[in-house]
Amino acid sequence: MRQVLEMLKRALDANTEVRFNGTVREGDPRFYHADITEALALGWKPALPLEQGIEQYARWYVAHEEAPRD
């Protein structure tokens, strides 16, 4: 999660710190692990690298971001 959030932070040129508070709530997963082995076995292939996808998402987000609400 930290790596993905750091990529998103860079893509958005955000001046913020990625941090976690260590609080674990009931139902929260303890660990995240991305494994696309089964998807690949079914014939799926990523269209582009993760970092490039995050950069594209960030550009889309900025283009579609609404003005702050009062």
Q: Does the pTM exceed 0.75?
A: no
Mean pLDDT of the 29-56 span = 92
In a domain, 55, yes or no: yes
* Residue 50: inside a domain: yes
Does residue 21 belong to any structural domain of this protein? yes
Asked if the model's pLDDT at residue 69 lies above 80, the reply is: no
pLDDT for position 67: 59
Whole-number percent of the chain with pLDDT over 90: 69
- Report the sign of the C-alpha dihedral through residues 22, 15, 59, 51, in that order: negative
> Residue 34 domain-assigned?
yes
Residue 35: give the domain boundaries. 2-64
In a domain, 69, yes or no: no
Cα dist from 49 to 1, 16, 46, 63, 68, whole Å: 16, 24, 7, 21, 32
Structurally, the chain folds into a number of domains equal to: 1
Whether residue 70 is contained in a domain is answered as no
Residues 6-39 have pLDDT tens digits of 999 999 999 999 998 889 899 988 887 889 999 9
Q: How confident is the model at residue 70 (pLDDT cuts 50, 70, 90)?
A: low
